[in-house]
Each structure stands twice: as C-alpha cells, then as structure tokens.
Structure 1
Amino acid sequence: MDSLKSLITRNLDVFPDFEYYIPIIEKAERNQELHPDITVECCLSLIQGISKTIILDLDEKADPIKLENDNTESRAHHQFKRATELLKVNDDIYETAFTGSYSGLIHILGNLRNTRGDISHGRAVPKVLRSDVGLARLVMEITDSLLRYTLASFFAINLDKKVQEIEMISQEEDLIRYEENPGFNELLDEEYSYEGKVLYSQALHKLYYEDYEIQLKDFLYEQELLATE
C-alpha cells in the first residue's frame, strides 16, 4: 500500500494526525501472506477510520460519540458513503458516483471481518474459515487506490480552506507577492508535484511564507551568478 502511505507521509507537515494510520497500513502489508484475514481486517479499519475522520471534519453536526458507538452491521459502507457525499459537496470534481459504488464491496468486507477476522473477533482453533493470499492482495490494492483518491481530495479541501483563511488576514506591505515570481513558482511546481486544487508553490507561499522567501532568495542569487558568467 505504498501509494496511500506515500500520500500520507508527504502531507504530514500539514496533517500530522494522519500518521496514526501508517502502522495499520504496515500491519496489513506484513500479514498479507501468513495472516490474510488480518490484512483484510486492517483494510476495513483504514476505510472506517478515514471515513469517520472526513465526516467529523466536514460535517459540523456529526456526533463523534454516536459515530464511534455505531454497531450496526452495515456501518462501514454507510460511513464511507457519507464521507464521499461530504467530499462531493466541498469538491465538485470528486467522482462520488464512482467511489460510492464501492460501498457494496465495503459491506462485503465487513461481513468477511465478522466471519473471519482474527483481531476484533477471537477465534477458536483450528480456524475453520480462512481467506487466501490472493483475496488479501486484492483487498489491499482496492483499499490503496480507493483511499488514496479519497484522501487526496480531503487534503486538497482542507489546504484550500487554510489558504483562504490566511488570505483573509491582512498582509504586511513588505511581503513578497506570490504573482511577482512566476518563474520561481513554476520551478517549485515542477520539482514538487502536489495533488490538489492548490499548487505547491502557492501552498508554500501561503502556509510557510518564511520557507518560500528563503528558497526564493537562493533562487534569485543563483540567477544573478548565472547572469554574470
């Protein structure tokens, strides 16, 4: 699940709480061959956990206690579906019709967890029902792609909100204006690809202005050296 883990790792500076999910991803990867049902259970846990996080962040009326204590059989796919609906409200390019269709698979994962899971439901030995490696690999691939797409949209929404909040704060007159250095901005965006509605250079300027200023000064200095050669 390198794709999902990489996305989370790249965004830890802005979203540090998401480091919580990395050990779960690694546990899913570790158990793929020897304990495939643990892998399946970890994948469902990731889907549920990230869905709950999105709901609580984007829905002001969401009740965290009620969400955590939901013991209904179909809770996993309902939570994911609700998360995708909230993403669509805040991100008009998010394809909720496509991702929402996965809610049926998530319901099946919930059933697999209930009948074969090794962690949430302790099993007597010898264990009668077991998933195979192929199924665990498929579940990991689906979870990786699905959550990577979903989480990338969530990160972009939150980053866009933070940029807007900062733009509302009056800027000092001596601050470097973002649009004054298009060449430098393009260089940053080419060097650091960033998935989302906000360009990397714009995010750096708005959220980490001092870092932007330092890198810009180095860039301008290098340009001066080249010009004198």
Structure 2
Amino acid sequence: MFWIREHISKMPSFDTFNTHADTIVNNIEMNPALCIETCKSLIEGICKTILTNKAYIYKDDIKFQELVRQTIEVLVINSYNHKEKLCELARRIASVAQVIAEIRNNSGFASHSQDIKNISVDSTMSLFIYKITDVIGGFILHYYMTHNNPKKDSRIHYEDCDQFNEYFDDANPLVIGFLTLSASEAMYQQDYEAYREEYLNYLETKVEK
C-alpha cells in the first residue's frame, strides 16, 4: 500500500483508510479472503469520499465498476492533456475493478459466506489484488491531490488545511483567560461557511502572489 499510504499521509481527512490498508497487508497470507474483501472496501471508500467532496451525486446502490469509472471520469473531466485516453483508461480500470468485485463475491470473508467445501482463494490471488488495489487507489488519490480545485468542492476538511489554519491562528490570536484557543478551528466548528470563504480567499491570495 505504498502509493495509497503516501497520499493519505498528505491528506489527513483520508487517514481512516489506513486501517483498511493495515488489514489488507496483515492478511495477504493469513486470510486472503479478508484481504480481498478489504481491498474492494478501500477503493469503494476512497471513490465515495472523493465524489462527495466534489459534490457529485451517485446512487446508493451503484455497482463497484461504475463507481470507479465515474470517480476517474469526474477527476479528469477538466483535463487538457490526453483526456480521451484517460477516460478510456478509466473504463478499462473499472473493468479490472469489476473482476475484483466478482472474486470478492465468490470468496467473501463476511458478506458472501460460502459452503465449507467451496474452494478458497490463496495468497497468490490476494497478493495480486493487493498490488492492483494500490495502483488503482494510488492513481485516484494522486490525480485528486494534483488536480483538485477546492473552489468546486462541496467539502473542505479542517485537518487538510494546515497552512491556512496556522496563518489564520497567527493573524487572529484567540485567548480566553489563560487559555489560548485555535481561531481557525473555532470558526470551522461554529461557522463552516465563513471558514470556507476565508480559506478560498487565502488560496486566491497565494495564487496572485
């Protein structure tokens, strides 16, 4: 999970997915079926988080293949370089994701229990899917981080805005008695829209400089 973890480390709001990554790595040999099931859940979670961040509505019962395809196409929609090729890759990657879903359904550790005589997957399969998951998830996170435009996002996560938070706290010291509070965190919790406006203004100012 090197590529996925690399990007999660740069976006603290995605930190919860480290638990998925740990489960995947720890179960490649010990429990291949659980490893594969968690691979699917990890990609699914990343895709749904990004689509929600970008105010893109998807169906609750969306198929895994369609979810992956839509996520990549939403990310590359404003690309000026090789857009058609990227969309084609999105369709092909989605097809690979669908195979992962089918393998997961046939050998699911929890959601799709099988008869005790059912042939289980081995560590070779789980290792292969683990590597594929890191490529798919890593590419999606890489593109999201590299080309993301916060102005078009529906959600801004406080923990992802360290530079702005530090700047705002320094410019607006908040002291109550002997207690120093974070002005940026207080604004985020009490008036999210005001925080959002200040953050976007901060980004515009950085670009202009």
Q: TM-score range by the shorter chain?
A: 0.5 to 0.7
- Confirm or deny that 1:11 pairs with 2:2: no
TM-score by length of 2: 0.66
Of 75, 78, 87, 2:66 maps to 78
Q: CA deviation at 1:155?
A: 2.4
**Shift in Å at residue 10 of structure 1?**
2.3
- Listed one character per residue, the Cα deviations across residues 143-171 of structure 1 (whole Å, up to 9, x for unaligned) are 1012111112212344x4259xxxxxxxx
Mapped partners of 1:210, 1:127: distance in 2:
61
The Cα of 1:127 is off from its aligned counterpart by: 4.5
Q: 2:111 aligns with which of 94, 108, 120?
A: 120
Gaps of 5+ in 1: 164-202, 214-229
Give runs of aligned pairs for residues 106-117 of structure 1, distance below 5 A. Answer: 106-117=97-108
Q: 1:28·1:42 contact (CA, 8 Å) conserved in 2?
A: yes
Residue 187 of structure 2 is matched in structure 1 by none
Residue 138, structure 1, aligned to residue 128, structure 2: yes
Q: CA RMSD in A?
A: 2.9
Query: What SS class does the counterpart of residue 123 from structure 1 fall into?
Result: coil
Q: TM-score, normalised by structure 1?
A: 0.61
User: What are structure 2's unaligned runs of at least 5 residues?
Assistant: 153-160, 172-209
1:148-163 matches, cutoff 5 A? 148-158=138-148, 160-161=149-150
| Moved beyond 4 Å, runs of 4+ | 203-208, 210-213
Corresponding residue SS for 1:101: helix
Aligned amino acid, residue 118 of structure 1: F
Residue 41 of structure 1: CA displacement?
Answer: 0.9
Partner SS, residue 112 of structure 2:
coil
- In 2, the alpha carbon distance for the partners of 1:206 and 1:19 equals 19
- Is the radius of gyration larger for structure 1 or structure 2? 1
Which residue of 72, 87, 93 maps to 1:96? 87
Higher relative contact order (CA closer than 8 Å, sequence separation 6+): 2
Number of aligned residue pairs: give it: 161
